[in-house]
A and B are shown apart, each in its own frame.
Chain A
């Protein structure tokens, strides 16, 4: 039982690449912290440095009360679950799980009872005498977890343990892993590239790109208040729609001009985002989550119908409708310029963006209920919940607070 503290942690490789730059992160005792980001963002490197498998180029790692920079992995009291499980192929499941205990010269009967307990928790009691080669993917993953659990370590480290499983099993195991971690109450550092895993499993999530920490917050906060364009576009599926717009003064307060259309900025939003006022008459980035585009009205019925508080509408041309069974994902074309996130660079406060769309206009996605009749080629109005618009500085990509 311990906390993990990373201070100014850096890693440079011999060819000059900066894998990690000045990471500051704290994982509380019993907390499930997820490190998420695209490949090459430094999450696995961070995990391996905490495990002691790689040496940091700078900064300190503290587990519990001890600075562990100079300790070898075996002295750090960490247990690690690897992406490909790293089970010992020539040992039985029981021997795999009990490996670390055997090394610490724990008495045999103690080892046996601990192994049996772990096996029961993970549902592996029936396969204790098989070799890993004879197990299914899911069983192997649980053996890897068992090997970590039985050590009763101060810290769990997990390196994309679910990425080798098929989709259905992955969903099942997500719940399992979370349940076990809660039950054991051990500080856990969990690496994944899948933002859904991050959102569903983490107490807090740290979003990394190119070695920089962009935001570390609870999943809800990441969703509601992304710190910059990168986080906003990384979290949420389908990705948030981002358009270049102009903040203008409208009849009822601020409004956003998207191409030739206008969306009024809800009063709640205007109140919450004080700095928005400073951007009057300037170009900004507007973010609209697909799940806030709903309620379709056939074109030709005029804008919006009733201009209620928080309801705007956008006219779009439908290109493709994907049916998920529970809802539609509508791909559309809109007469506004889209904004795409480029390389994040070394500064989370400076996200390079490209503005695109061309003559045909930008594109976007909406999540719409199945009860709407809609097909490709239609021109429709989509309702927008204007209280849930996101605004970002066009130059820096930082969210407008």
Chain B
């Protein structure tokens, strides 16, 4: 009877989450262009992927993206959360303002940022005021991915700020009082009391950040027009999967990269869990 009750949810879960995931694993052993017949090729897809320079470029891009964005957005989110946890006058409005990008469409944000990053756009204009000649952000292979990193940090910090706010407010005020009376200054209290007690929250933010950045696709797609350029500098693993399936017509390659991405993400998650995952007992 219980099984029958949960059957609708199980079906939905299977159809939309587990099912496609299992299907992707299945597809990685086949060669298929979506239009022709599927052919079993065993592990040769994986062989191709591992020897393809474009794949390793995508790995490098995705890894550097994650390594830069996750710590930065964690720190920014924490910093803003600490600031907005105090009794500032426009506190409610500021929280709304910082959170707003997180609920905006990432496609719209990407398009707006394309204008900001234009060679003659806002960012270079502002840098020009400071006397710095701005580069051609989106056409320069050195800067394109970094431009997306900045945009991503701006977008997601607000969401993680809210998470940190919740974590900060879960720390009893008494502990802060006790530390203050015991003689701890603001910085000492922050580093020795607040940050250690925020470990579960930081863990969540880090894991969600890693998973999100390793799957970054839509911003790279819109900003590079689907090409992953300039010079493959914005080709992330998920964009590569998309290209393999729809531009190269090689669903098998795309599925193989999906499997590899899954393994990478799993490994990193377990790693972060080892470092940050222990719960705090109050």
Contacts and interface: CB of A to CB of B under 8 A. Distances in A.
Given A88-B193, A103-B183, A103-B188, A80 B281 contact: no
A131 B185 CA distance: 23
B179 interface: yes
Interface in B165-199: 172, 174-175, 177-185, 188, 193, 196-197, 199
A376 to B, nearest CB: 47
Interface of B: 172, 174-175, 177-185, 188, 193, 196-197, 199, 280-282
Interface in A148-176: 151
A74 B182 CA distance: 6
A84 B173 CA distance: 11
Nearest to A133: B281
Contact of A147 (B177, B182, B185, B281): B182
A86 B172 contact: yes
Chain A interface residue bracket vs B: 20 to 34
A121 B218 CA distance: 64
Nearest to A54: B177
A73 interface: yes
Nearest to B196: A90
A53 B175 CA distance: 12
A92 B41 CA distance: 58
A127 to B, nearest CB: 15
A99 interface: yes
Contacts of A79: 181-182
A152 to B, nearest CB: 13
Contacts of A74: 180-185
B177 A100 contact: no
A53 B181 contact: yes
Nearest to B197: A90
Q: Which 4 A-B pairs have the closest CB atoms?
A: A133-B281, A86-B178, A74-B183, A86-B174
A100 B183 contact: yes
A312 interface: no
B281 A131 contact: yes
Given A86-B174, A86-B177, A100-B182, 11 more contacts: A73-B181, A79-B182, A82-B178, A84-B172, A90-B197, A90-B199, A90-B280, A99-B184, A103-B182, A132-B281, A134-B281
B180 A88 contact: no
Given A74-B184, A89-B197, A84 B179 contact: no
A51 to B, nearest CB: 6
27 contacts: A52-B180, A52-B181, A53-B177, A73-B183, A74-B180, A74-B184, A74-B185, A80-B177, A82-B178, A83-B174, A84-B172, A84-B174, A86-B172, A86-B175, A86-B177, A87-B178, A88-B179, A89-B281, A90-B197, A90-B280, A99-B179, A103-B182, A103-B188, A104-B183, A132-B281, A147-B182, A151-B182
Contacts of A83: 174
B181 A78 contact: yes
Interface in A97-138: 99-100, 103-104, 131-134
A99 B196 CA distance: 15
Given A89-B197, A90-B196, A133-B282, A99 B174 contact: no
B181 to A, nearest CB: 5
B184 A103 contact: yes
A87 B178 CA distance: 8
Given A89-B282, A100-B183, A104-B183, A80 B178 contact: yes
A98 to B, nearest CB: 10
B88 to A, nearest CB: 16
A99 B184 CA distance: 9
Interface in A48-76: 51-53, 72-74
Nearest to A81: B178
Contacts of A73: 180-181, 183
B257 to A, nearest CB: 41
Contacts of B281: 89, 131-134
A53 B183 CA distance: 12
Contacts of A52: 180-181
A53 B180 CA distance: 8
Contacts of B282: 89, 133
B179 to A, nearest CB: 7
A342 B43 CA distance: 86
A264 B281 CA distance: 64
A80 B180 CA distance: 10
- Identify which of B178, B183, B184, B282 gathers the most chain A CB atoms within 10 Å of its CB: B178
Contacts of B184: 74, 99, 103
A134 to B, nearest CB: 8
Nearest to A74: B183
A112 B188 CA distance: 21
Contacts of A53: 177, 180-181
Nearest to B182: A100
Contacts of B199: 90
A149 to B, nearest CB: 12
A53 B281 CA distance: 26
A82 B181 CA distance: 11
Contacts of B182: 74, 79, 99-100, 103, 147, 151
The CB with the most chain B CB atoms within 10 A, among A52, A73, A84, A132, is that of A73
B43 to A, nearest CB: 47
B226 to A, nearest CB: 48
Nearest to A73: B181
A73 B179 CA distance: 10
A297 B178 CA distance: 57
Contact of B175 (A88, A100, A134): A88
Contact of B181 (A80, A89, A132): A80
A389 to B, nearest CB: 45
Nearest to B279: A133
Contacts of B196: 90
B178 to A, nearest CB: 4
A54 to B, nearest CB: 10
Nearest to A103: B183
Given A89-B197, A89-B282, A133-B282, A51 B181 contact: yes
A147 B181 CA distance: 11
A88 B180 CA distance: 12
A179 to B, nearest CB: 23
